[in-house]
Structure 1
């Protein structure tokens, strides 16, 4: 077999053709085919086709213009056995080094230096007894079912996307209506004020006109009375004279007072801020694509009301040889590539884990790290505090398996929990929730509860940004807020003792871990009802402080006062 294989390679090495003349091959020659006969199912070169045509005048012969039909012609090479790269050649060999099926042309071009070449008939012996081959139909059926499910999910996704568009358009139109209502009210108020001012000015004008008319008539009457007295009546003339002087004095005073107002008028100066603010806004709001990446089935495939169950768990040690104390994990998040970032409070480190939960890098922080939040493709922010009142946000970039601190922001309050939505950071201070821009500008204090020392611990924000979940450690509560800071729900439960970590998945499933009761709970989206207690102390839960759902592995990662991460496999 070896000599036959070697001769075929030597024969192919002279000239490599996509189709070789069948007649020439029978004579041991290697000639490129220019024609194909549908009836004979053979290829012919220029010389051999002449002999063929002389013998078979009624056969249909295809030339190079129809070369695509050669490969498609039945009987050339079975579709299953046809080489994808060289359609006219059959797959006859296997390259063990590259685990690849090959034809003779593939071998001569790409695998001539490979030592592990086997003939397919040799490796195919007893294939029907191979367990992998026997399981093939079932594996294909399962995979086809998964593909069909994914297709149906995408179909539903497309439908929900259109519904989402309709909902957003409705919201935009509602915003527009509110703006129109505000503008209508502003216009009405402005016109009413204008009418009031015009009425006031008009009243003043009328009073002036009445005063002028009255004085004009009084002056005319008194001078007429004086002029009607004859020359012998001097006393009446004197009296008329004195009264007229008094009236003239009154008239002059009235004219002088009126002349201080040359003209009644109104002016209007618009508020430029209205146009400036509207013109500076290009849209009614921020639109973001929300894509979830992962190699495994994503949690978004589960309905929002799906109640998960634990299918097993495993622990992974994250203690480093340089760690002086037992690990105390207060923060955990996952990067798009599957890497995990955790914060180790007692050892004052931020650690980077690979997909197998092995520590591959770390960076020290000068103070105590609390929560960590994923804010960009490969960027996280870490809450850092010390006992001297120094509170900072450290922005860390992950590049080529390395943690690099890029910038720091100082805060005027403690920073314990962190979450991000849109262009805002949500930071908790143990008793209050603040909203900041990504540049560190304070937007507002969203919520505050001074009934205890640890009433606002961890934060989780649902995917649409409309609902915020807060753990109230002091009062054994899960608080649900809207994005304006209004309280929507307060959840309590016997298993909810000293709740610390809270997480909302992209599909809206809510999980809480409780420090003192050693439990992991699933709560409904409204934050009002416990759906299930997912795990307890007997499942490996020990004083949990933070948890995260990995859509890549469909698992809950729980951490706390231990050197290990507890990974709960859920379905």
Structure 2
């Protein structure tokens, strides 16, 4: 039967029909239909239509000359079984190579060379007993709640965004008012200076005019006196003459002095810097966009090349009364609402912390929990690993109303110490290799391997664009940087930095690494080639750190290790 099925698939690849015989399709054959039954809403070839007509004598059967009336037939295909790419076709096959449901047209066009094509009835056998199928209602219900929660969150974000817009506009108007006030003050001062200069010059002009009037009147008066003394003899006339000469001399000197002032004028030369500075500015300030993306609730407000400096340190106790031994924090991540999820290896617990770093809930796991990573919405994935009983799993946990609920689990044939989620892929570190899986757990490939010793692929982090991978190689005291094809780009080592363990990359591309033996938290450049800053050391509260996470919400590094406390490092 398998060989007949494979040959039918091959025939399906060779011919693509507008309408395939429904009866032949049920037998795994691909035969072009020549007839269509309105009542059955099925197609029949010349060999199958006689059987149909014999069974259903009163059905109306259309042949090829009425093919235009067949057009409505594809819509009659059951919605669930309808091929999304070819609505007139029914999903009959599944491609194992691409994990895709297919119709015959899909196979002929896109899966001709695939080696794992299976008939859906064969693939569907025992589906009701499949554990994943049994969990499907619960998973869908959880996901629907996540979707509804995300929708409500987006509504709140939209309302908050509009409030932010109003607040920024108010700030812009306040800036504009301050600028207007400054300009008004500058204008007032300039006009006052102008009025003072005009007043000074007007006073000088008035003095000149008064002097001219006085000289004019004195000359007229002395001449009138001389002319009136004409009959009085020469002495009075002589006296008048001499006085007039003196007045003429004084008047000439005054006129000469006045003539030296060519004109009264005021000039104005504007400060070009005012216009130049204003015209060079396109807006009142810099607007920074904060986006929800990937595993972090907010995009970093710090530019990619920013080198951080420490502002303060504070420790928060995360040990519970039910914890039997001291904590060992192996993983840290943050939810969109600001809650923190940590994995406590020693006590085999996943703990939920509120925004004040208080433990509000926990969930026991069957084996030692290692890394914990945000997947999306309020879902995280926890690496659960124990070589003694061959358990290598990834547990997906959803946080609903402050409660941790395990929704599904994936098992691996190798160790599972670290995990990162990006797009539709999961990246799993196995201690010596980096594997790629689909989000459903289907293996894709081994991206990188370093077998010289254990602990060569301890933890991993991926840049936001998915182009750069960072791997901590504890055994060789290295931070290794790869491209997305697994090619090594850089290897960073430092004699003062021993056993790199946890690594984290922000959405903007800042790289942070904690060193287990050196009790140090560092910022490394985005190329993975040099250290940029030391942000915390043992004297600051760092003790054998194994997990580091940067919270954009609080602009702080959260560090965990062999301690009952988390160290929160506020940076700038």
Look up the SS of the partner of 1:336 in the other structure: coil
In the alignment, the residues of structure 1 paired with residue 570 and residue 563 of structure 2 have an alpha-carbon distance, to the nearest angstrom, of 17
Residue pairs, 1:135-174, within 5 angstroms: 135-174=135-174
Counterpart check, 1:240 vs 2:240: yes
Give the match for residue 212 of structure 1.
212
Q: Does 1:69 align with 2:72?
A: yes
Contact 1:503 1:547 in 2 (8 A): no
1:306 and 2:309 aligned: no
Match of 1:134 in 2: 134
- Partner Cα distance (1:21, 1:269) in 2: 92
1:124–1:173: structure 2 CA closer, same or farther, 3 Å change rule? same
* Distance of aligned partners of 1:257 and 1:104 in 2 relative to their CA distance in 1, 3 Å threshold: closer
Residue 49 and residue 223 in structure 1: after superposition, are their counterparts in 2 closer, same or farther (change >3 A)?
A: farther
Offset, 1:30: 5.6
* CA distance in 2 between partners of 1:511 and 1:156 (Å): 25
Local SS of the residue matching 2:80:
helix
2:554 aligned partner? 509
2:283 matched to which residue of 1?
283
Output the CA distance in 2 between the equivalents of 1:115 and 1:261: 106
1:362 equivalenced with 2:397 (yes/no): no
Matched, 1:336 2:464: yes
Number of the residue aligned with 1:225: 225
TM-fit CA distance, 1:354? 9.3
Give 1:212 deviation, angstroms.
0.8
After superposition, the Cα gap between the structure-2 partners of 1:206 and 1:151, relative to the gap in structure 1 and judged at 3 Å, is same
Q: RMSD of the alignment, in Å? A: 5.5
CA–CA separation in structure 1 for the residues paired with 2:57 and 2:472 = 84
- Taking structure 2 as the reference length, the TM-score comes to 0.55
* Pairing 1:484-503 to 2, within 5 Å after superposition: none
Is 2:234 aligned against 1:258? no
Checking the alignment, whether the CA contact within 8 Å between 1:16 and 1:105 is kept in structure 2 is yes
- What CA deviation, in whole Å up to 9, does each residue of 1:227-280 have, x standing for no partner? 222455433333323222221121111111111112211111111222222222
| C-alpha contact (below 8 Å) 1:18/1:87 kept by paired residues | no
Q: 1:381-420 alignment to 2 at 5 Å? A: 398=527, 403=528
Q: Unpaired runs of 5+ in structure 2?
A: 299-333, 340-353, 363-368, 372-416, 419-430, 433-449, 451-459, 498-502, 514-522, 543-547
Tell me by how many angstroms 1:142 deviates: 0.8
SS of match in other structure, 2:262: coil
**2:40 is matched with which residue?**
40
- Give the TM-score taking structure 1 as reference length: 0.55
- TM-superposed CA distance for 1:351, in Å, is 5.8
Shift of 1:209: 0.7
Q: 1:281 to 1:111 in 2, by over 3 A?
A: closer
Deviations 1:440-487 (A, max 9, x none): xxxxxxxxxxxxxxxxx96xxxxxxxxxxxx9x99x9xxxxxxxxxxx
Compared CA separation, residues 247 and 307, structure 1 to 2 (3 A):
same
Deviation string 1:383-442 (CA, Å, 9 cap, x unpaired) is: xxxxxxxxxxx99664xxxx578xxxxxxxxx986xxxxxxxxxxxxxxxxxxxxxxxxx
Q: Does structure 2 conserve the Cα–Cα contact (< 8 Å) formed by 1:219 and 1:244?
A: yes
Give secondary structure in 2 for the equivalent of 1:538. coil
- Shift, 1:57, TM fit: 8.4
Which deviates more from structure 2 when the two are superposed, residues 242-251 or residues 290-299?
Answer: 290-299
Q: Distance in 1 between matches of 2:173 and 2:116?
A: 68
Q: Could you say if the C-alpha distance between residues 340 and 185 of structure 1 is closer, same or farther in structure 2, counting changes exceeding 3 Å? A: farther
CA–CA separation in structure 2 for the residues paired with 1:334 and 1:126: 39
Contact 2:557/2:570 (8 A) holds in 1:
yes
Aligned ranges 1:192-207 → 2 under 5 Å:
192-207=192-207
SS state of the match for residue 195, structure 1?
helix
1:501-542 superposed Cα distances (whole Å, 9 cap, x missing partner): x99733x325467xxxxxx6xxxxxxxxxxxxxx6862376x
Provide the C-alpha distance between the structure 1 equivalents of 2:7 and 2:356, rounded to a whole number of angstroms: 65
- Classify 1:72/1:378 alpha carbon distance in 2 versus 1 (closer, same or farther; 3 Å): same
What is the CA–CA distance in structure 1 between the aligned matches of 2:200 and 2:171, rounded to whole Å?
43
Q: CA 1:27–1:112 in 2, change beyond 3 Å: closer, same or farther? A: closer
| Shift of residue 81, structure 1, vs aligned partner | 3.1
Select the residue among 563, 569, 572 that pairs with 1:538. Answer: 563
Conservation of the 8 A alpha-carbon contact between 1:39 and 1:60: no
1:301: how far off? Answer: 2.3
> How many residues were matched structurally?
405
Query: Cα 1:46–1:281, aligned 2, differ >3 Å: closer, same or farther?
Result: farther
1:40 to partner: Cα distance: 2.4
Deviation, structure 1 residue 160: 2.2
Cα distance, 1:131 vs structure 2:
1.7
Contact 1:380 1:397 in 2 (8 A): yes
Partners of 1:49 and 1:537 in 2: CA distance: 76
CA positional deviation for 1:217? 0.8
Task: Give the aligned partner of residue 433 of structure 1.
Answer: none
- Measured after TM superposition, the shift of residue 155 of structure 1 is 2.3
Counterpart Cα distance in 2 of 1:374 and 1:92: 44
Whether the 8 Å CA contact 1:96–1:116 is kept in 2: the answer is yes
Distance 1:258 1:35, change over 3 A: farther
Post-superposition offset of 1:170: 2.2
- Offset, 1:284: 2.3
Per-residue Cα deviation, 1:138-165 (whole angstroms, up to 9, x for no partner): 1111111112222222222222222222
How much has 1:195 moved relative to structure 2? 1.3
